[in-house]
Amino acid sequence: MTPTTRALVFDFDGTIIDSETPVYESWAETFRFAGAEPIPLERWLQDIGKADGHGIDVRSELCNQIGVDAISAQVETFRKDLCGEMLHSLPLRDGVEHWILAASAAGIPMGVASSSPTSWVSGHIERLGLADRFTTLSCADPGIPGKPDPTVYLTACESLGVAPNEALAIEDSTHGVAAAIAAGMRCIAAPGPITKTMKFGHASVCVDSLSELNPADWL
């Protein structure tokens, strides 16, 4: 028998929207623009989902490669403009809207638990027209540990008024799944193009897209 789900908590980056791909690709293009070799995806993946995003000191790495003390304004502008252009029009990932509508129809409250700051998450939530769908945004703001620490998930569950074992998490990274499991939640893994090679053995199920699952079987 499927356990009762009294709350649904989404990760944000890579789960609600595929922001992981443009962030990595914009940095890769910036390295090439500056005459450097991009950071290999295998290294980048080691820290996806953590509080600091990639965890790598990308600017220092670029400076070391091209032999300068600081990145020029031209290079910074190139990266910022490219990343902004890629992110601005990002749609919801496949299946996300269906799950949100299903949870709303079932009267199940929803939240977001993210290793990104609230300002980043709330801005995109507003852009996507989802502000009225989420009761809480639990984010890794200064002083709050990010994933794989379970704090953002525990805080989300507390805000939603449910015990962690009554909530279902949806994630796209191994660090995110680890955080949800450590919090005592069930977790669906739906990795994106960047995270699809990660291992998700501790998730309840791993799918390429949420559209592969029927929300009624989980909510």
In a 10 Å sphere around its CB, with 0-12 CB exposed, 13-18 middle and 19+ buried, how is residue 86 labelled?
middle
The structure tokens 């809207």 sit at 97
Catalytic one of 13, 18, 149, 172: 13
Chain centroid to CA 169:
12
The reply to whether 11 belongs to the active site is yes
Q: Please name which of 47, 12, 41, 13 lies closest in space to residue 25, comparing C-alpha atoms.
A: 41
Whether 47 sits among the annotated catalytic residues: the reply is: no
Nearest to 184 by CA among 204, 198, 200, 199: 204
CB 13 within 8 A of CB 20: yes
> Which entry of 11, 18, 149, 172 is annotated as an active-site residue?
11
Residues belonging to the active site: 11, 13
